Amino acid sequence: MWRICPRLRGWGRGLSNRPSSDPTGSMCPRPTLRPPARAYVPPAERKRFYQNVSISQGEGGFEINLDHRKLKTPQAKLFTVPSEALAIAVATEWDSQQDTIKFYTMHLTTLCNTSLDNPTQRNKDQMIRAAVKFLDTDTIWWFLQ
């Protein structure tokens, strides 16, 4: 193979700058260069639009209120959690945001949104099986064994 296409031997060492009259040009195509890697762009941040965070008890459980407006999930469902302790933890996440809302720091909110919206349309048994499947790879579980 190297005799047929001599450009492959030195790929990446300035061979792409050879003039078009190069005799090896007819033997094989010029190697394609990869585009430069894109720079990391952090997730978009929004300005904090609320002053107070509170909890209220509704029909389906506990709700989080941002300035008396009820918190909703990304699919516009009402954000309700079954326990008061979880509601307090989520409210603390929202209250701890400073000038901008950094969604990547709100892990409980993200987990609750995923649970409430159920984007994969799994039932309870399917979700339990999927969670148990990865239990052996969990580092905390491995440490406790």
Q: pTM of whole model > 0.75?
A: no
Q: What is the pLDDT of residues 120-142, one digit of tens each?
A: 898 989 988 888 887 777 777 66
Rounded Cα gap, residues 1 and 3, in angstroms: 5
Residue 63 β-bridge partners: 56, 80
pLDDT band at 1 (very low <50, low <70, confident <90, very high): very low
Going by pLDDT thresholds of 50, 70 and 90, the confidence category of residue 4 is low
Give the count of beta carbons closer than 10 Å to the beta carbon of residue 98. Answer: 7
pLDDT tens across 40-97, in order? 776 667 899 999 999 999 888 999 999 989 999 999 999 999 999 999 999 999 999 9
Give all domains of the chain, ordered by start, each with its CATH number: 47-138 (3.30.2180.10)
The kind and range of the H/E element at 23 are none
